[in-house]
Amino acid sequence: MMPRRGADNRACACDVQYFGPMSTPTPEAVKRHPHLAEPLQPGWVRVDMHSHTMWSGDSTTTPEELLDAVVASGIDVLCITDHNAIKGAVEMARLLPCRVIVGEELKTHAGEIIGLFLTERVPIGTQPESAARLIRGQGGLVYIPHPFDPMRRNLAEPAMRALADDGLIDAIEVVNAKTSLQSLNVRAAAFAEEFDLAAGAGSDAHVPLALGAAYVEMPDFDGSADFLMKLRVSRAVGHHWDEHRPWTPRVVPSTSIH
């Protein structure tokens, strides 16, 4: 395992800055996710815009497992978007060797919305428009995960179109590694083009080995506004990967979202 970067050498969770790419992915990670072997353009980074930890409730990925997975995959920037929580992302920003963007996958009455670059948790059950404005109000970005996927808690299309019409969406997920039907990703890309939205991608990892399944390659960035600008010239990379974790005896610590 590569040495962990000290906390004084990393950006804070909400003000991500340039520190260069991470380590080379391991052969095992490349075997799982072959696109990890593709070289990055100079000055570009791999950003997984959607991932989960044990703070999500439906994931049991511990801090130690996440650290090992980050190193193995070579992901440069990880958006930790636990369900209705930011506490884990804030804690992991101090522990991981990569940079961390604090996010939250928030459940609204109409489906899920992700906020990125958050400093405060948005309460569960907030109406979509209010949620988007609360995210924007703290300098965050509004990101719509797994749109049109009927097997997920996707944001209902009328609510998504209402947000887009009001200019309250910054980016939409066009590659989600847990979405099995490519046609749904194509539909998401068409929606992004229709409303001139930035396109994102993420592993939606609920198990450690999923890291590396999907991400964007983009020029490195400094803060949320620069991130959004450079996301518009990014390349979404990924494949469908939704395997279960291999069984191992382990202890998962208890967590709280507060």
CATH number for the domain that contains residue 152: 3.20.20.140
Residue 154 domain boundaries: 56-238
Structure pTM? 0.89
Q: Which two three-digit tokens encode residue 199?
A: 């396109």
Three-state SS for 195-231 is CCCEEEEECCECCHHHCCCEEEEEECCCHHHHHHHHH
What are the DSSP E strand ranges found in 109-251? 111-116, 141-144, 171-176, 198-202, 214-219, 235-238
Residue 253 pLDDT: 65
User: How many distinct structural domains can be found in the chain?
Assistant: 1
202 occurs within a structural domain: yes
Residue 258 pLDDT: 64
133 occurs within a structural domain: yes
* All residues at 6 or more sequence positions from 151 whose CB lies less than 8 Å from its CB, including other chains: 180
Please say whether the beta carbons of 138 and 148 come within 8 A.
no
At residue 225 the predicted structure's pLDDT band, cuts being 50, 70 and 90, is very high
Residue 153 pLDDT: 86
- pLDDT tens column, 157-207: 999 999 999 999 999 999 999 999 999 999 999 999 999 999 999 999 999
